[in-house]
Structure 1
Amino acid sequence: MTNQEDKRVVLISTGGTIASKRNPETGLLTAGVLTGEELSEMCDLPSHIQAEVISVFQIPSNHMTFEHLLKLKMKIEEVFKEDNVAGVVVTHGTDTLEETAYFLDLTISDERPVVVTGSQRGPTVMGTDAFVNLRQAIILASDIQSRNMGTVVLFNERIFSARYVKKKHASNVAGFTSFGFGYLGIVDQEHVFIYQKPVKRETYKLKEGLPAVELIKCALGSDGKFVQYAADAGAKGIIVEAPGRGHAPPAIMDGINYAIHKGIPIVLTTSGEEGEVKVVYDFPGSAYDMEKKGVILGRDYDSKKARIKLAVLLSAGVKNIKETFTY
């Protein structure tokens, strides 16, 4: 149950649908224009929680870049220098929310919670989920049970691990899930219930900016031209998403070999929602074939999460990248 001592939570606003207003000229929503202050005033928080608001960006989440991620990380670290902060809530657009959450999970080492939330419906739209998601996220961030869980996502009452959360629906208020793993707990009105916690946490200290890492998806008949193009265009890492256990069309191997010979790390991921890349078959284009050539097998990592992790590892100067993808 929730600890009722006075708690201070810092709300960091980045924009998104949760901060949208209707544009009278177009009749459509403009994302990222409501300030964090405007949002928090409508949440009817319990009296023991004091929310302080910082607006760092006011943008739709499809405008997020690696540079924005770095600025957000630095702001959270600055906030956590204050001992009396119980936790941080980040409001964010839903389209890239899972990537931002996982980046923060990999780079924020403080035991206090970072809770990322957003909404599928704008604050002025009928049936909005903006205020309930924000209210529950703040309650979660204030609760001592949420410590040592890393960054989590709160959406539609449910608490998700940043590593496995995924947007499953384009518009429904039940927009997020964790395929195969489920949620960690719930926030029911003013009460927090944690049912499970991640077994391991891994965090990295960045030494420089995040390098360019490209994501290339395979389909029937794909070849290696986009892999080769990424290598020539300056990519410092490449994620290849292939079906099943990691079975790419064999024509991709020319591009794979080209990039590997240039010293560019390549991580192979599966397009399946559950299961992992694994050596099972020995045909050309298989995980076995790629691993022999130097490709890193990305286990059960979603391709977007693998991209974030590879960028973080490269920035942190991690030498044995392959080993970290066994977690």
Structure 2
Amino acid sequence: MKETQEQTVPVRRLRDDLAFLDIVTEWDSLSGYHQWKAAAVVPATFRPRPVERYVIAVANQKGGVGKTITSLELGLAMVARGKRVRIINADPQEASLTSWVPALYPADVAEADRYTLTDVYYERCTLAQATWSTRYEGLFVVPSHPDLATVEKEVPTGAETCLRYHLREVEDDFDVTIIDSGPSLGLLSVSGLVAAHDVVIPVQAASALDIKGAVALYATIHRVQSRMNRDLRVAAVVLTDFERSSLAREIGAEMAKAFPDALIIPARTCVDIGKAQMKQQALREFSPNATAVQDYDQGAGVLVEGRAA
């Protein structure tokens, strides 16, 4: 991995006087609707992972649920807490993390040597050689391109355990690696689950169909747990595009019931996400006071430190 300090933007902690959500231990399903307000759920049973080189897979088989913004904003919130963070873009779609936060390649690196995740799976390079700086100081990315889809079709030898090998068994200097999975439960997503300690599941708070996607993902997680990664757990559910409504309340209750030991993080809706993407800026940079930024920051704090502040 070659680093460049070109155009780097420091990532600072948020002010503590912003409108953070209250922290509770259970999702409120009993109060009258007019008394009910959204809160971040931290179950009494939740514990942060006491591991070095912490690996998180952000996954859901359904597209458009907010996997990429969840990966990016959690990653930056962890950078703000002094962590050295890498995001692996395991989504072969063109409109993915690589387009939003592109890699910064050093001037002396030839185009042929600008390795991506595809090269890692085909053993043309190591994961370290495919890891590049971004515009954010402390945040690095393993980019992908549409050719990553060939991994699903050709299945290179050892593909299911490829990321696990590089992340768990090879010397590495990242505190946190976040795997931004694609919109399917194919080989690439399974490979991420095999490598991860924890799973974060984004679910749209305005779509009851996303509950079915989360159930299908849980079945895949269970298979991975039983066969290849016994320590894998669902650490958090992020309710994306969250607005106060009866449906959002019901979806939150269903997720809390399905994953009783997981964080439930409402990520409030934000109209600036699309604008931030167009400018190739993270929401945290483009609109640092957005409530969604605060929500992701709060969730990241609990995941890595066991506390929101």
Tell me, yes or no, whether TM beats 0.5: no
TM-score (norm. length: structure 1)? 0.28
TM-score (norm. length: structure 2)? 0.29
Which one has the bigger helix percentage? 2
Report the structure number with the largest CA radius of gyration. Answer: 1
Higher relative contact order (CA 8 A, sep 6+): 2
Which one has the bigger strand percentage? 1
